Amino acid sequence: MANFIEEIIEKDLAEGKVSEIITRFPPEPNGYLHIGHAKAICLNYYGTAVKYNGKCNLRFDDTNPVKEDDEFVRSIIGDVEWLGWKGDVYYASDYFDVMYETAVKLIKKGKAYVDDITPEQMRAMRGTLTEPGVESANRNRPIEESLALFEDMRAGKIADGALVLRAKIDMASPNINMRDPIIYRVLKATHHRQGDKWCIYPMYDFAHPIEDAVEGITHSICTLEFEDHRPLYDWVLTEGEFENPPHQYEFARLNLERTIMSKRYLKKLVDEGFVDGWDDPRMPTIAGLRRRGYTPTAVREFCERIGVAKANSEVEYAQLESCIRDELNITADRVMAVLNPLELVITNLPDDYSETLEIENNPQDESKGTRQVPFSKRVYIERDDFAVVPPPKYKRMTVGANIRLKGAYIVNCTGYDEENGEVVRVYATLIEGTKSGQDNSAVKAKGVIHWVDAQTAGDVTVNLYESLLLPYDGVHEDFSERLNPNSRVKLNSKVEKSLIGVQPLKAFQFMRQGYFCRDPKTGEFNQIVSLKDSYKK
């Protein structure tokens, strides 16, 4: 079934209103992109431009020099390309001349005026939803005077904030956005691309429609908060006399359970050191997800599954996880890693015993082949795969039990060593004739556990992750009071030999543990996602 954006586009194409679909993704370069932006990119690029054989511009909405940075520009291009976008890059700041000329045109038409209103007065005179606003004394300033003052603003003769240019629309409009909004302000700041060429900067609502018009955008798709700004969008294009004006359509933004989805707050996490940077694997940024081991296909699949709607809602985090889990279930090789190691000594093997086992990389997919896994007298097993006093129905190791070491033999657990009340070593004997694949004994095992050969194991650091934020407890609204102290747990773990030196970001299933890959920066292993839904309530 077509979503409402597709319905609009198909109608416009059928009626010949447009011949080529041109959309844009217009981030402000004031931070790294997050998973919400991925939704906007997928909609504008895959869902629209690619689907209808058009194009999608990446346009930096760099009209506010104070918050913008080239680092953000570079990261955004990298992230958008990682998602598979192809197209041309534009900068709104390249259109400052057109914006300036449009402003002059509005003044000349009597549709804009220079005012000396302060932000406080602006607020006080704006009115409310039920009361009209108050007209400024400068509203009917002669056109010549406004032109001269606007020129002074542009020439740097006016202090920051002393004068503004306002659109002259309607102070009694039921839509507060139409009550003579500010369209230009004085700001003596250096722009990341324009340097000191400008000391006046356009406001978003004035700049955005012009940017769309200059690029010939046909469908300007944005999030619902901008619905009430659409009349102003249309007003700027009409009064600015742009031909073939673009049209704005609004869709519901992505809200993800327990996830901060605002560059401003994400920047706070970075600046205040709550995380290791914008690409910390716990961050909901595209850079964080990449480093965590998410793939572009999984992110796209997520955007497909959540769909495009006109009403806001919150998506469960588990939905994002199931997309990467479903993909890795097919693509990732199975290997063995022991996250919390406990030594197991096989007492009936000679000290120098060693054997190489051949183990399948994916039992559900023969085409994935096999690998060589060393086995010897001492192996590591998972600490919680042994219990001195087993709980009922325990299927793992306990004294007296027969347990299969995955891909190897059945062993019989015979005892353990304890130091200061902690189990430090477990003993077992290997049962002859029980080798995996060649077992024709009648011996039964209670369960199967994974293990790693002690002699050849690799020592690695493994990072387990939980949500950055604790669930909302009804009291702590502010995210800085809801930070989860266990969002990252570092473990000293053992991995099988085949994992030593594997390439970063190549995903593996650590059997019975989850999906992991090596971090490209630290070389540690990051948990991509657990095997089962960990966010289930």
Residue 532's alpha-carbon distances to 109, 212, 281, 301, 343, in angstroms, are 64, 44, 19, 19, 27
From the number of C-beta atoms within 10 Å of its C-beta (0-12, 13-18, 19+), residue 363 rates as: exposed
Q: How far apart are CA 134 and CA 9, in angstroms?
A: 41
Task: For residue 224, state whether it binds ligand ATP (rule: CB under 6 A).
Answer: no
Judged by CB under 6 A, the stretch of 37-45, 167-175, 301-309, 400-408 that binds ligand ATP is 37-45
Which residue, 28 or 170, is less far from Mg ion as judged by CB?
28
Best CA proximity match to 41, nearest among 54, 58, 20: 58
Q: Tokens 């369960």 appear where? A: 447
Q: Which phi-psi region, left, alpha or beta, contains residue 505 (left: φ > 0; alpha: ψ -120 to 50)?
A: left
Task: For residue 466, state whether it binds Mg ion (rule: CB under 5 A).
Answer: no
Residue 137's alpha-carbon distances to 74, 121, 142, in angstroms, are 45, 12, 12
Which residue, 159 or 311, is less far from ligand ATP as judged by CB?
311
Structure tokens at 354: 């060693």
- Binding mask 151-190 vs ligand ATP (x if CB under 6 A, - otherwise)? ----------------------------------------
Which residue, 68 or 321, is less far from Mg ion as judged by CB?
68
Which residue, 259 or 527, is less far from Mg ion as judged by CB?
259
The DSSP bridge pattern shows strands 525-530 and 458-465 to be: parallel
For residue 494, what is the enclosing H or E element?
A: strand 488-495
Task: For residue 267, state whether it binds Mg ion (rule: CB under 5 A).
Answer: no
Of 28, 116, 152, 170, which one interacts with ligand ATP (CB under 6 A)?
28
Of 18, 22, 40, 464, which one interacts with ligand ATP (CB under 6 A)?
40
Task: For residue 267, state whether it binds ligand ATP (rule: CB under 6 A).
Answer: no
Q: How far apart are CA 225 and CA 312, in angstroms?
A: 10
Concatenated DSSP letters of 217-267: -SEEEEEGGGGGGHHHHHHHHHHTT-SS--EEEEEPPPEETT----HHHHH
Q: How far apart are CA 105 and CA 113, in angstroms?
A: 11
Which residue, 169 or 266, is less far from Mg ion as judged by CB?
266
Q: How far apart are CA 190 and CA 204, in angstroms?
A: 18
Q: Supply the residues annotated as catalytic.
A: 28, 253, 263
Could you tell me if 85 and 58 are in contact, meaning their C-beta atoms sit under 8 angstroms apart?
yes
Task: For residue 81, state whether it binds Mg ion (rule: CB under 5 A).
Answer: no
Binding to Mg ion in span 343-382, by CB under 5 A: none
Binding partner at 27 among ligand ATP, Mg ion, none, C-beta below 5 to 8 Å by kind: ligand ATP
Best CA proximity match to 147, nearest among 159, 163, 169, 170: 163
Please give the size of the binding site for ligand ATP, defined by CB under 6 A: 16
Task: For residue 487, state whether it binds ligand ATP (rule: CB under 6 A).
Answer: no
Of 98, 214, 261, 505, which one interacts with ligand ATP (CB under 6 A)?
261
Judged by CB under 6 A, the stretch of 258-266, 333-341, 356-364, 497-505 that binds ligand ATP is 258-266
Of 167, 186, 254, 452, which one interacts with ligand ATP (CB under 6 A)?
254
Task: For residue 37, state whether it binds ligand ATP (rule: CB under 6 A).
Answer: yes
- Binding mask 52-71 vs ligand ATP (x if CB under 6 A, - otherwise)? ---------x----------
The DSSP bridge pattern shows strands 200-202 and 182-186 to be: antiparallel
Task: For residue 261, state whether it binds Mg ion (rule: CB under 5 A).
Answer: no
Judged by CB under 5 A, the stretch of 24-32, 439-447, 454-462, 521-529 that binds Mg ion is 24-32
Task: For residue 170, state whether it binds Mg ion (rule: CB under 5 A).
Answer: no
Judged by CB under 6 A, the stretch of 2-10, 32-40, 133-141, 396-404 that binds ligand ATP is 32-40
Task: For residue 28, state whether it binds Mg ion (rule: CB under 5 A).
Answer: yes
The DSSP bridge pattern shows strands 370-376 and 525-530 to be: unpaired
Judged by CB under 6 A, the stretch of 20-28, 144-152, 185-193, 486-494 that binds ligand ATP is 20-28
Could you tell me if 255 and 315 are in contact, meaning their C-beta atoms sit under 8 angstroms apart?
yes
Q: What 3-state DSSP class applies to 300?
A: helix
Least Å distance, CB 225 to Mg ion, is 10
Residues that bind Mg ion (CB under 5 A): 28
Residues that bind ligand ATP (CB under 6 A): 26-28, 36-37, 39-40, 61, 222-223, 253-254, 261-264
